């Protein structure tokens, strides 16, 4: 699992809003080592060096993860570039990825053992330590509750509910709420079970996407308490 010591690159750093979120990630403590934008090698965006390819960026920076910004038609090729370069963590906030492209990505990440979060995911926040993605403009408060959700709005709803209490968050991960995403709840539950900073786990799901049901057998054997939040539509 990535943490505050993980160095990352920003793929598509010249894409709209990528420079904004890059600056926000740096301000949060994230170790952003470089950016990738084809044809822009030697430039600096948001104060970090830009490289022509993921391979070139990894040789120069030794980064272990990527946050990927791309237009819908380019997410697949950018994702495959990251996978082929050997990255084991890809966070994809980009929206509009065609389903048939994601089907191919799923095949390759399972083949290579890549942790892919997204698409359409604001990523990960380790409160007061680092942000990997776009979860930078929300009011998180440091605590020992970790949240795992398919949907950003559900995370916001829970965090807002804690604002007037002594309860705070440790790590929040949003997997994205597209039809197909690269990760499932079960992929992160073992991490939270062993994470010393997490004392309570909240799972947020939509009633038409029963991710929690798939994880029930594992949850039954966990030592840490797990709370499920499944709002009903309508």
For 61, the token pair is 């920076």
At residue 171, the pLDDT reads 98
CATH (domain of 160): 3.40.50.261
* H or E element that contains 6: none
User: Number of C-alpha atoms within 13 angstroms, CB side, residue 214?
Assistant: 11
Contact 212, 185 (CB under 8 A): yes
pLDDT of 209 above 80:
no
Do the domain assignments include residue 122?
no
Same domain, 165 and 108: no
pLDDT tens-place string over residues 137-170: 778 999 999 999 998 999 998 999 888 899 999 9
Residues 143 and 108 grouped into a single domain: no
| pLDDT for res 233 | 63
Residues 25 and 104 in one domain: yes
Does 123 reside within a domain?
Answer: no
pLDDT in tens, 91-139: 999 999 999 999 999 999 999 999 999 999 999 999 999 999 999 877 8
> Residue 17 belongs to a domain with what CATH number?
3.40.50.720
Concatenated DSSP letters for 200-226? EEEEE--TTS-HHHHHHHHHHT-SS-E
Q: Please name every residue paired with 51 in a beta bridge, in sequence order, or none if there are none.
A: 36
Whether residue 142 sits in one domain with residue 185: yes
25, 95: one domain: yes
* Distance linking the first and last C-alpha atoms of the chain: 36
Prediction pTM value: 0.95
pLDDT digits (tens, 9 = 90+) for 5-41: 999 999 999 999 999 999 999 999 999 999 999 999 9
pLDDT at 116: 98
Number of domains in the chain: 2
Q: Which of 117, 147, 181 is a domain's end point?
A: 117
Instruction: Identify the domain boundary among 117, 147, 172.
Output: 117
Domain of residue 158, residue span: 138-229
Q: Which of 62, 82, 117 is the last residue of a domain?
A: 117
- Residues 74 and 17 occupy one common structural domain: yes
Share the mean pLDDT of the chain.
94
Q: How confident is the model at residue 199 (pLDDT cuts 50, 70, 90)?
A: very high
Mean pLDDT along residues 44-54: 97
Q: Are residues 67 and 112 in the same domain?
A: yes
Alpha-carbon gap, residue 210 to 217, rounded angstroms? 14
pLDDT attached to residue 229: 87
86 and 149 within one domain? no
């Amino acid at each position: 699992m990535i943490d505050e010591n993980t160095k990352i690159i920003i793929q598509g750093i010249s894409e709209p809003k990528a420079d904004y979120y890059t600056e926000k990630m740096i301000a949060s403590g994230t170790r952003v080592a470089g950016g990738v934008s084809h044809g822009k090698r030697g430039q600096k965006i948001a104060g970090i060096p830009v490289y022509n390819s993921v391979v070139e960026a990894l040789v120069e920076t030794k980064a272990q993860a990527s946050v990927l910004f791309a237009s819908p038609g380019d997410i697949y090729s950018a994702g495959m570039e990251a996978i082929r370069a050997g990255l084991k963590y890809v966070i994809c906030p980009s929206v509009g990825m065609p389903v048939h492209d994601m089907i191919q990505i799923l095949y390759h990440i399972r083949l290579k053992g890549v942790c892919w979060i997204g698409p359409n995911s604001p990523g990960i926040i380790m409160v007061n330590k680092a942000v990997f993605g776009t979860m930078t403009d929300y009011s998180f408060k440091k605590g020992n509750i970790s949240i795992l959700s398919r949907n950003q709005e559900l995370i916001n709803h829970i965090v807002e509910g804690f604002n007037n209490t002594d309860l705070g968050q440790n790590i929040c991960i949003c997997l994205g709420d597209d039809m197909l995403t690269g990760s499932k709840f079960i992929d992160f539950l073992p991490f939270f079970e062993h994470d010393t900073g997490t004392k309570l786990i909240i799972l947020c799901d939509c009633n038409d996407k029963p991710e929690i049901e798939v994880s029930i057998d594992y949850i039954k054997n966990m030592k840490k308490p797990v709370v499920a939040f499944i709002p009903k539509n309508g």
